[in-house]
Amino acid sequence: MPQVVASDFRPHSLLKGPHLQTLAGFVLGKRIQVQYQRQRLELNDGDFLDLDWGKASNGLLPEDAPLLLLIHGLEGCSGSHYIKAISRQALEQNIQPVVLNMRSCSGQPNRLPRMYHSGDTGDIDRVLRHFQARLPNRARFACGISLGGNQLVKYLGEQADAALLNGACAVSVPFWLAESGRRINSGISQIYSNYLLKSLKKKLTKRTDLNGVTPELLKNIKNFYQFDHQITAPIHGFSGMYDYYSQSSSLPFIKTITKPTLLIQALDDPFMTEAVIPRLHHLSETVILELAEHGGHAGFIGAGGEFWMAKRVVEWLSLVI
């Protein structure tokens, strides 16, 4: 049956605030070292995806090691602190992490006149089908963080029994995009939206193939509502911001998930409001929602600087395995 449970996460004594938790993860994560081997997956639409396979320190993993697909957040990549933390923890437990770098996020511009967005589940499906075809005897799991978590939850709900996964976990998910957007566009949380917008604008200034995306347009965009309405929505086939948010929010899809799934959310996440958090009636029979009082956004830094989130994700997936 569906469950809403209290997390046992306890924040570092000096890092109890939501912003401290969020920023500490970014700062402390710089010390984490993970080696990857890159695989370029050519797609039928003419584009490509770069997959980064985590390498064990001794170079060896069991031939039947379960696969863990890691899906990053907005403007993330295999080098994001939360991805490295989970990759390292997975390797220590003989689980093979594979990072899906979204289109335009691997350090190489993608070929098609598009990028990625919160509701894009097609590339998750493409990678999982690749795993199924090439490594059919390996168990498959996935973990998505933030935007990647929204994609993963939506994929699980869309596919239900057909989802090519044995289990999944999603952390710091903006289940209701319009409400999450309202939060990140206001107050002190604007420091995050400004940082992310700067990264997106820098990337887009190098693109000449996106119809209507001009230097003048980019200069005039001041928040994510404007960015999503004038760029994200039109280049990905939505009529506008509200259409994009409505079709891409993962909240309505939780109810149809049939695979074992753990959702981890911090109640003090500066990217969310309380309204974004699912309630018991939103959950399917196979979903557990774990709520922490603290943790910020993809932070969850515990005593001694421990990356609790990474430990919890791998611990839970190990139980499902």
Backbone angles phi, psi at 158, to 5 degrees: -65, -45
Instruction: Note whether 280 and 2 are within 8 A (CB).
Output: yes
The rounded distance, in Å, linking the Cα atoms of 120 and 311 is 27
List all residues 6 or more positions away from 10 whose beta carbon is below 8 Å from its beta carbon. Answer: 294, 302, 303
Burial level of 282, CB count in 10 A (0-12/13-18/19+)?
middle
Catalytic residue (one of 52, 123, 228, 269): 269
Q: How many CA atoms lie within 13 A of 179 on its CB side?
A: 15
Active site residue 172: no
For 94, left (φ over 0), alpha (ψ -120 to 50), or beta?
left
Catalytic residue (one of 72, 117, 294, 297): 297
Cα-based angle 70, 184, 33 (whole degrees, multiple of 5): 35
Active site residue 146: yes
Cα-based angle 43, 44, 48 (whole degrees, multiple of 5): 20
Q: Which residue has the tokens 């999944």?
A: 168
Active site residue 228: no
List all residues 6 or more positions away from 303 whose beta carbon is below 8 Å from its beta carbon. Answer: 10, 12, 13
The rounded distance, in Å, linking the Cα atoms of 174 and 224 is 14
Instruction: Note whether 210 and 235 are within 8 A (CB).
Output: yes
Catalytic residue (one of 146, 189, 193, 248): 146
Catalytic residues: 146, 269, 297
